[in-house]
């Protein structure tokens, strides 16, 4: 929960900071000397108005420019003990020009303004592009003016420089940013400044929920349905749930925003536990995307794409528009098998097929990340006829270049865009229309808007329709809806096609014809009938070991302890959806009860007994409260 440097003993109050100052030479530089170095010139001009934090100067003008000024002895760095000032931002606070909220936005903003200084959780359910961020901006305005701090959580991939800039520009204040790629030092600084009350706004990913605030005013969780808010290992927590607890402790409002709220959240809103605010129209007149199902049965399939789909794609490409193709797997193909005997090449540590990565000319296991060279023949029968099965992004990319020769194409997945900068550069290039065909994974569904995309293609939705995970339909519906929301604008309405071999599946039909709002409400009725969360509470105990009997035995003993002492429902032990990973066999026990209180009580009372079980030290085990994923 603490920044690394604090755990290593660094003080929680700052001891020194580096500031950048002009030297005497620097103060006297005339304009012309730096005319060929505009960044250095801008930095000098800023420094003439006063010193800057070194980190701030580097961020604003680039490290190269700062370094050059220091080398030319025009600027120098000194260390000083920083003085933090509570609510310092109020002195520069200034509200930039802003759009007039529409009726629904006004209703939401007014409702939020009535909730200051009390614990209320609100769900802002607004279709993508309906102006949720605009509501956040206007709702926090009066709080910032009073010197209160705002903490905003966003999904890992949704934290773009544009998001941060939007908040900085609107209020002319410095925004503290926290994400996983920050240096330890930078992370500590934001933590210290937030704790001292100096930062008005802190925006961060999951773990930013632990940022201390001197004068908390409001917490916001944007895209609250996003799976990245749940930490699945080490300290397991859901940032949204912790946000609820924090808001309650501070007695302040919590705002949850999403176009596709998690069923848990939606249920709380519909049952009246949360306040429910809705935005049903896209802001600024942008049109919504029409959704359709493409029946792939009996059609020729090229590189995973049905003939009929290719025809539609061609129309959009010929019209000069962008087409986005979503594929749920990276790599070339999810398996390599022998054409002669059918043997699949498996990762021995996970008992799962290797994914073929042609660009690396290697096989990679997506469960343990282990890789191996591409085999030349089958290990079972020595045949050299090895064929791939299934389709990943690499293969679709390759296929599309032969199907649409000359059409500029880009692939966006975690193999092709490593690091945030590369991703943002690629996304900018897309919006400059340097590419016409975009192929990619989940990354495309989060946060970014593609105004020139008029067609979104989703290949293979069938996997999710038949998954063993009861949340798979919810996740598919969120993905499809988020993807649809990426496309289209006022002058160019978009369309979306879902390729399937089950065109009449009720879930697809409901989603396509009635949208997420309807789908989600219907899915809640089904969950209730089936006795599944959020209508019951759950926790899972997972155990893993290289010896499958040990892991299984531990959970069997655990089950016995529970059954002797408590009336809760226990299922298992059964293998996790990923039965084996990195050489360890994995099992789980699913425990549930209608009410959270008795369930947690049972767990609290039983834990000491579990810790005392003879197998407890021999297997790796962990409790996961409100599990969201059964892998």
Could you give the dihedral angle defined by the CA atoms of residues 524, 529, 533 and 538, in that order, rounded to the nearest 10 degrees? 180
Selected from 3, 26, 82, 129, the binder of ligand ADP by CB under 6 A is 129
For 492, the token pair is 């160019």
Site string (259-298) toward ligand ADP, x via CB under 6 A: ------------------------xx--------------
Report d(CA 178, CA 2) in Å as an integer.
13
For residue 118, give the DSSP letter: S
Q: Does 349 bind Zn ion (CB under 5 A)?
A: yes
The Cα–Cα gap between 191 and 341 comes to 59
Which residue of 367, 446, 527, 593 would you call a contact of Zn ion, by CB under 5 A?
367
Identify whether the C-beta of residue 339 lies closer than 8 Å to the C-beta of residue 383: yes
Render 22-51 in DSSP notation, one character per residue. E-HHHHH--GGGGTT-HHHHHHHHHHHT--
Q: What is the C-alpha separation between 518 and 21, in angstroms, rounded? A: 59
Does residue 146 interact with Zn ion by CB under 5 A? no
Q: Tally Cβ neighbours within 10 Å of residue 304.
A: 20
| Minimum distance of ligand ADP from residue 110's CB (angstroms) | 14
Q: Does 368 bind Zn ion (CB under 5 A)?
A: yes
Contacting residue, 145, 174, 343, 629, with Zn ion by CB under 5 A: 343
* From 341, 387, 429, 530, residue interacting with Zn ion (rule: CB under 5 A): 341
> Which of the residues 133 through 172 are near ligand ADP (CB under 6 A)?
133-134
Neighbours of 377 (CB within 10 A): 13
Helices (H), 252-363: 263-270, 307-318
Judged by CB under 5 A, the stretch of 49-57, 140-148, 312-320, 380-388 that binds Zn ion is: 380-388
Contacted entry of Zn ion, ligand ADP, none for residue 378, CB cut-off 5 to 8 Å set by kind? Zn ion
How far apart are CB 367 and Zn ion at their closest, in Å? Answer: 5
Peptide bond before 300: cis, by omega within 30 degrees of 0? no
Find residue 79's DSSP bridge partners: 18
Q: Is 417 in the site for ligand ADP (CB under 6 A)?
A: no
- Across the chain, how many H-helices and E-strands are there? 19, 31
- Pick between residue 169 and residue 377 the one whose CB is nearest to ligand ADP: 169
Q: Which does 143 bind (CB under 5 to 8 A by kind): ligand ADP, Zn ion, none?
A: none
Nearest by Cα to 333 from 364, 295, 305? 364
Using CB under 5 A as the binding rule, whether residue 363 contacts Zn ion is answered as no
Q: Is 132 in the site for ligand ADP (CB under 6 A)?
A: yes
- Looking at the Cβ atoms of 80 and 162, the one nearer to ligand ADP is 162
End-to-end CA distance of the chain: 25
> Is 365 an interacting residue with respect to Zn ion (CB under 5 A)?
yes
Q: How far apart are CA 600 and CA 598, in angstroms?
A: 6
126 binds ligand ADP (CB under 6 A): yes
Interaction between residue 130 and ligand ADP (CB under 6 A): yes
The window from 55-63, 197-205, 343-351, 572-580 that contacts Zn ion (CB under 5 A) reads 343-351
Binding residues (CB under 5 A) for Zn ion: these are 338, 340-341, 343, 347, 349-350, 365, 367-368, 370, 378, 380-381, 383
Binding residues (CB under 6 A) for ligand ADP: these are 99-102, 105, 126, 128-134, 283-284
């Amino acid at each position: 929960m603490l920044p690394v440097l604090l755990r290593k003993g660094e003080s929680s109050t700052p001891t020194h900071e580096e500031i950048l100052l002009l030297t005497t030479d620097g103060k006297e530089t005339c304009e012309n000397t730096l005319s060929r170095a505009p960044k250095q010139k801008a930095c000098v001009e800023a420094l003439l108005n006063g010193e800057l934090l070194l980190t701030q100067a580097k961020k604003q003008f680039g490290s190269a420019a700062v370094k050059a000024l220091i080398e030319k002895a025009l600027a120098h760095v000194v260390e000083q003990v920083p003085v933090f000032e509570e609510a310092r931002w109020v002195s520069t606070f200034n509200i930039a020009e802003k759009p007039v909220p529409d009726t629904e936005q006004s209703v939401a903003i007014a409702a939020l303004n009535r909730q200051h200084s009390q614990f209320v959780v609100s769900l802002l359910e607004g279709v993508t592009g309906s102006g949720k961020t605009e509501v956040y901006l206007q709702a926090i305005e009066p709080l910032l003016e009073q010197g209160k701090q705002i903490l905003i959580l966003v999904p890992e991939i949704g934290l773009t420089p544009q998001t941060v800039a939007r908040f900085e520009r609107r209020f002319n204040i410095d925004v503290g940013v926290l994400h996983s790629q920050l240096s330890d030092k930078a992370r500590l600084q934001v933590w210290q400044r937030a704790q001292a009350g100096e930062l008005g706004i802190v925006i961060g990913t999951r773990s930013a929920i632990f940022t201390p605030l001197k004068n908390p005013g409001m917490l916001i969780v944007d895209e609250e349905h996003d799976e990245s808010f749940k930490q699945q290992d080490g300290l397991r927590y859901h940032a949204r749930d912790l946000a609820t607890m924090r808001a309650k402790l501070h007695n302040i409002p919590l705002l949850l925003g999403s176009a596709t709220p998690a069923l848990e959240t939606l249920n709380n809103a519909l049952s009246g536990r949360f306040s429910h605010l809705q935005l049903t129209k896209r802001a600024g007149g942008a049109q919504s995307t029409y959704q359709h199902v493409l029946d792939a049965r009996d059609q020729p399939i090229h590189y995973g794409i049905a003939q009929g789909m290719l025809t539609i794609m061609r129309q959009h490409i010929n019209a000069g528009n962008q087409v986005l193709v979503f594929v749920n797997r990276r790599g070339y193909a999810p398996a390599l098998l022998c054409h002669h005997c059918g043997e699949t090449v498996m990762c021995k540590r996970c008992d799962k097929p290797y994914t073929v990565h042609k660009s690396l000319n290697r096989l990679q296991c997506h469960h343990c990340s282990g890789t191996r060279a591409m085999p030349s023949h089958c290990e079972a029968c020595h045949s050299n006829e090895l064929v791939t099965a299934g389709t990943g992004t690499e293969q679709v990319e390759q296929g599309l270049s032969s199907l649409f020769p000359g059409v500029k194409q880009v692939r966006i997945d975690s193999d092709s865009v490593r690091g945030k900068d590369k991703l943002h550069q690629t996304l900018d290039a897309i919006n400059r229309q340097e590419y016409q065909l975009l192929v990619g994974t989940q990354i495309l569904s989060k946060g970014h808007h593609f105004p020139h995309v008029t067609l979104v293609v989703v290949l293979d939705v069938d996997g999710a329709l038949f998954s063993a995970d009861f949340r798979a339909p919810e996740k598919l519906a969120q993905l499809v809806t988020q993807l649809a929301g990426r496309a289209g604008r006022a002058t160019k309405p978009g369309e979306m096609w879902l390729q399937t071999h089950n065109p009449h599946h009720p879930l697809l039909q409901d989603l396509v014809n009635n949208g997420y709002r309807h789908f989600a409400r219907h899915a809640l009725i089904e969950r209730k009938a089936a006795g599944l969360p959020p209508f019951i509470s759950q926790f899972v105990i997972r155990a893993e070991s290289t010896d499958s009997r040990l892991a299984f035995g531990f959970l069997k003993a655990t089950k016995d302890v529970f059954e002797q002492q408590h009336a809760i429902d226990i299922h298992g032990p059964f293998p996790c959806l990923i039965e084996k990973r990195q050489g360890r066999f994995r099992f789980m026990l699913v425990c549930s009860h209608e009410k959270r209180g008795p369930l947690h009580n049972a767990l609290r009372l039983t834990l000491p007994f579990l810790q005392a079980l003879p197998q407890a030290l021999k297997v790796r085990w962990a409790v996961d409260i409100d599990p969201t994923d059964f892998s």
